[in-house]
Structure 1
């Protein structure tokens, strides 16, 4: 009976739309801001890395606080102010005229991003029926995927035809629409488990999701190698438009996320997660072997399958393991681990690539995937085996 609970409610559709617009605004600047730094502010590669990374590192620091406030103050109140701050930050890019000002804005933008993305994910977990959580969070994740597929290309189109000012105004307007969309969300926040307690470390992080956070950290480490260096590899093997990797990856995610979520709801993670880890490892082996478009594209397909399975399944496992009023802390903990993994991976894999080259760097990533695979089997898989045994 629970399996037939409605998923596509007004609240669920609005939070998916809010997230789509939030990430769409974000992805407008992801590939275009380095061009702004280099061409307008005359920053070199080191300045680009520092300024681009400032947002992710700031988000890592504020997500635990965001999780605490989401649980203690309220979901919609926190997201309301976070989206306003995010939109204002987007509008402020139009007034930046120095590298120092841009760095400071990226820090403020990172704070708003950390609060907004954590808040949206927590509301999504609240409004999805428990029996359809894997499926629901899979569909919710598609809003990120759609934004990633469309945002960078649309951002470049606006930049090439109308300039940076129009690009920043467009990002601002989309962020405002995200805030407007959020205003229509209205539901009773779960109150079970609410109690008065002093503020301590567990107010900001959720220990029950540490093992899942560890899994997502190492997945993010290798994913950082894709974000930072896939364009360079594409150029090295003669691919004119390396951005096609992300387009193929996003299209595969559109199909795999709903399947993965539904499989998790019906059968649990024991059968589907190994397929996800294997697909991610295979994607890096294919990059190691790639000397043209065929294996390059097959790698993007494998990455889409793997990431489309592992990420929503891990999120669903985490949300299922905590009380409703700890979902904010759980989301903050996992997303902080993911952001930190991307930052660490981008830096360490960059050092490795400089020593051994891009091909062997990607081959190394296929071995790194063994770590989250072992973490899953030593922690989360055992929990589910015990749960099944108890039911039997």
Structure 2
């Protein structure tokens, strides 16, 4: 039996931890800043959404540039620059005394976030052995999922019990830890192989700022991000509406536990059997989870939905990102990562906006019911943009082997 290449290398562990602290900072601030702005800056509820929107816009805008810079200057320079920008942004939340100054800081911090997530995604794509890419990306995204659980919990605790000074000291510490662990990664100084000629051709045109082979699967990711955004942004509100506010904080805990238990299997199956064998059933499980959530009337059903969503969406997201990297041209994994995350974030931003409007009109339970149908419809989109091509490729391979 051939020995598998090593996955848990020093660089893989460090880039996963660094990315964990990046997203821990993101989710920590995501949950506490709206509360802080309402209570301490006396802004209106209509302005609260800008705190998230401005950050997201700057991240989306910066990612394609970061992907190009990786090809032009090499991953080391881009990563170090992004880590310093992100850490500096995390340390400056003591300063804003108005909504205007806070939004300026959010825009600056979003640039660091967009660059950092592109850089870490590029690093991990290069340190994971190709034969274990599905498994490795699964574990890498698992660190993000854990940050999604821990960040909001700490953010709510901090803003409610510890005061603004301690609260923002914690965000500064998280940003510093992201920088520190990132600097410990041993990165090559050279430009990625095959990208020198690509870099020379770069022009700051829209077509050059996205990795075209990765666009289709990125659109698929954005399509499902619209549905997932309704859970990420509103599941705690929904829990309060159905009388389950006390268990709302456990939703993402169960989500993360299921991810932790399933990740060793789903990533390996992706590598062994291909994307379609994993993604089709995962999407069905995701849809069932959202459907169960729409009818939740007890803590058990609510948390069962969390488990199903965790297993379904927690498998789909890293699988789609892995496909985007696999589709990339040689030396352009950084641009492919930027393409996937940028288009995905557009879906998240659009979904958050639409869910707020539609949910207010028809109710979140009805919204989740229709979201489950929306997810099932998305299976057709995946098939058209990616799945059928892989199935055709697999069929040709089988026919070729049979002739031999």
State the TM bucket, normalised to the shorter chain.
Answer: over 0.9
Aligned to 2:321: 315
Q: Once structures 1 and 2 are overlaid, which stretch shifts more, 149-158 or 300-309?
A: 149-158
Q: Is the 8 A contact 2:89 2:108 kept in 1?
A: yes
Q: Is the 8 A contact 2:135 2:271 kept in 1?
A: yes
Q: Is the 8 A contact 1:71 1:327 kept in 2?
A: no
Please list every run of 5 or more consecutive structure 2 residues that lacks an aligned counterpart in the other structure.
399-404
Secondary structure of the structure 2 residue equivalent to 1:93: coil
Aligned length: 392
Aligned to 1:220: 225
CA distance in 2, matches of 1:257, 1:110: 29
- Find runs of 4+ consecutive structure 1 residues off by over 6 angstroms: none
Q: CA offset at residue 135 of structure 1?
A: 0.4
Q: CA offset at residue 237 of structure 1?
A: 0.8
Q: CA offset at residue 3 of structure 1?
A: 6.3
CA distance in 1, matches of 2:27, 2:177: 15
Aligned to 1:134: 134
* Deviations, residues 353-379 of structure 1 (Å, cap 9, x unaligned): 122111111111112213431122113
Aligned to 1:151: 151
Q: CA offset at residue 238 of structure 1?
A: 0.6
CA distance in 2, matches of 1:154, 1:2: 45
1:243 aligns with 2:249: yes
Secondary structure of the structure 1 residue equivalent to 2:94: helix
* Deviations, residues 233-255 of structure 1 (Å, cap 9, x unaligned): 11111113322212211222222
* Deviations, residues 246-282 of structure 1 (Å, cap 9, x unaligned): 2211222222233221110000012211111111111
Q: Once structures 1 and 2 are overlaid, which stretch shifts more, 82-91 or 188-197?
A: 188-197
CA distance in 1, matches of 2:370, 2:300: 21
Q: Tell me the TM-score normalized by structure 2.
A: 0.93
Change (3 A) 1:378 1:152: same
1:118 aligns with 2:115: no
Q: What does residue range 343-362 of structure 1 map to in structure 2 within 5 Å?
A: 343-362=349-368
Q: CA offset at residue 198 of structure 1?
A: 4.1
Q: What does residue range 369-380 of structure 1 map to in structure 2 within 5 Å?
A: 369-380=375-386
Q: Is the 8 A contact 1:58 1:107 kept in 2?
A: yes
Pick from 262, 266, 273: which aligns with 1:267? 273
Change (3 A) 1:391 1:190: farther
* Deviations, residues 179-204 of structure 1 (Å, cap 9, x unaligned): 11112222446403541324243431
Q: Is the 8 A contact 1:214 1:372 kept in 2?
A: no
Aligned to 2:286: 280
Q: CA offset at residue 4 of structure 1?
A: 0.7
CA distance in 2, matches of 1:352, 1:161: 34
CA distance in 1, matches of 2:151, 2:81: 24
Aligned to 1:88: 88
Q: Is the 8 A contact 1:260 1:313 kept in 2?
A: no
Q: CA offset at residue 2 of structure 1?
A: 7.5
1:331 aligns with 2:337: yes
Q: What does residue range 1-392 of structure 1 map to in structure 2 within 5 Å?
A: 4-188=4-188, 190-192=192-194, 194-195=196-197, 196-199=200-203, 200-241=205-246, 242-392=248-398
Cα RMSD for the two superposed structures: 1.7
Secondary structure of the structure 2 residue equivalent to 1:56: helix
Secondary structure of the structure 1 residue equivalent to 2:31: coil
